[in-house]
Amino acid sequence: MRASFAARIKNGYEHAAKDCLTCETKGACCLDAHFVNVRVSRLEAAAMRDAVGELPLDLRKRVAERTVVAIERYGLRSAEDADAATYACPLFEPGIGCLVHSTAKPLPCIAHACYERQEDLPPDEILDSAELAVANLNWRVYGKATAQLSIPLAVEGVG
């Protein structure tokens, strides 16, 4: 599902977005603690933890350190409105980029790009439909609805 969604976004919309390689501040969208509020399902969290677990030890340690800092600094465990809490993503590694880009990048992150014009953005319905499909799969795998987690809480303890 993730690969199909990524292909749809890449083929249908990304041509109108600014290339990440030309960004003046690489990772700004991932590290902007006032902007990032991605929430993931239990299945997506498991995929991210697996992907991080495959990284070299030094990268896993840096992800673990950034995760602890993000949870504490942004109050993700105790936020009154956890769904509205924002944070800097611990999966962004300077000089590399998203550490789970090819294997477990969350759907909202796949859909995000720097579009100059509002009309070039992928319609919300595309992401909504993909997230509903993941929620249905999550239900089938776990037999119940599970809370969405911020990325730091989803990957907590992977170091």
pLDDT at 11: 94
List, as own/partner pairs, every contact residues 1-5 make where C-beta atoms lie below 8 angstroms and the sequence separation is at least 24, other chains included.
1/130, 1/133, 1/134, 1/137, 2/47, 2/104, 2/105, 2/107, 2/110, 5/107, 5/110, 5/111, 5/126, 5/130
Does residue 6 carry a pLDDT above 90? Answer: yes
Residue 78's pLDDT band (boundaries 50, 70, 90)? Answer: confident
pLDDT tens, position by position, 101-111? 999 999 999 99
pLDDT tens, position by position, 145-155? 888 899 999 99
pLDDT at 82: 66
pLDDT tens, position by position, 115-154? 889 999 999 999 999 999 999 999 999 988 888 899 999 9
pLDDT tens, position by position, 25-51? 888 888 888 888 899 999 999 999 999
For the chain, the domains span: 2-154
Does residue 58 carry a pLDDT above 70? Answer: yes
Cα separation, 8 vs 26, in Å, equals 24
What's the whole-number mean pLDDT along residues 61-88? 86
Residues in the chain: 159
Q: Are 87 and 38 within 8 A, CB to CB?
A: no
pLDDT at 80: 63
